[in-house]
Amino acid sequence: MSLSVQFISLLSMIGTGIVAAAFIDMIKTGTSHAGRKSIIKKYAVLLEVIGWVIVGCWTFYILFLVRDGAWRIYDPFAQLSGLLLYVSFFYKPLRFLGRIVLTLVIRPLWFILRFIGLTVKQILRLILSGFALLFRPFVKLYRKHFRKLFKKRKK
């Protein structure tokens, strides 16, 4: 293995450490900002474990792309240095970028989806109330005259 391939693999492992730290930080931030009775808060530990599994699989995939899956002794140290780089330098800029994406992309999409859902719900409610209005005379007629036919008679 040439020196340039080792250097590229070292940089890729440092990069996976940075991305892993950002991903886990995103999961922890999301679970900490969830409501007290939220299902996300209830399964926070499970979500974090799933996040670590995803990070591990993704790291091995990157390792497979760079070196055909060959693991070296310096890989964990490179990832740990990537984690520490995230905490030292990339924490604030990536959090700022996350707030921008949340404000400009996710919240408008969430608003549009909720608006569409509420609109469909109101349309269905209007249709059902129309059916209820149409069937009300038949229901009153049934209750007045035919309800007694289906009751059990006392012996």
Residue 104 pLDDT grade (very low, low, confident, very high; cuts 50, 70, 90): very high
Q: Which of 86, 72, 54 is nearest to 8 (CA)?
A: 72
Statement: residue 150 has pLDDT above 70: no
d(CA 74, CA 7): 11
Mean pLDDT of the chain: 87
The highest-confidence range among 8-12, 99-103, 111-115, 143-147, by mean pLDDT, is 111-115
The tokens describing 4, both together, are: 């340039």
Statement: residue 30 has pLDDT above 80: yes
Q: What's residue 66's pLDDT?
A: 83
CA triplet 57, 75, 55: central angle to 5 degrees? Answer: 20
Q: What's residue 114's pLDDT?
A: 96
Q: What's residue 39's pLDDT?
A: 86
Q: What's residue 1's pLDDT?
A: 66
Q: Which amino acid is at 112?
A: I
The model's pTM = 0.69
Contact 24, 48 (CB under 8 A): yes
How many helices and strands (H and E) does the chain possess?
A: 6, 0
Contact 30, 40 (CB under 8 A): yes
| Secondary structure class of 125 (helix, strand, coil) | helix
Q: What's residue 88's pLDDT?
A: 92
The tokens describing 53, both together, are: 């599994």
DSSP letters spanning 38-89: -HHHHTHHHHHHHHHHHHHHHHHHHHHHHHTT---TTHHHHHHHHHHHIIII
Mean pLDDT, rounded, for 45-67: 89
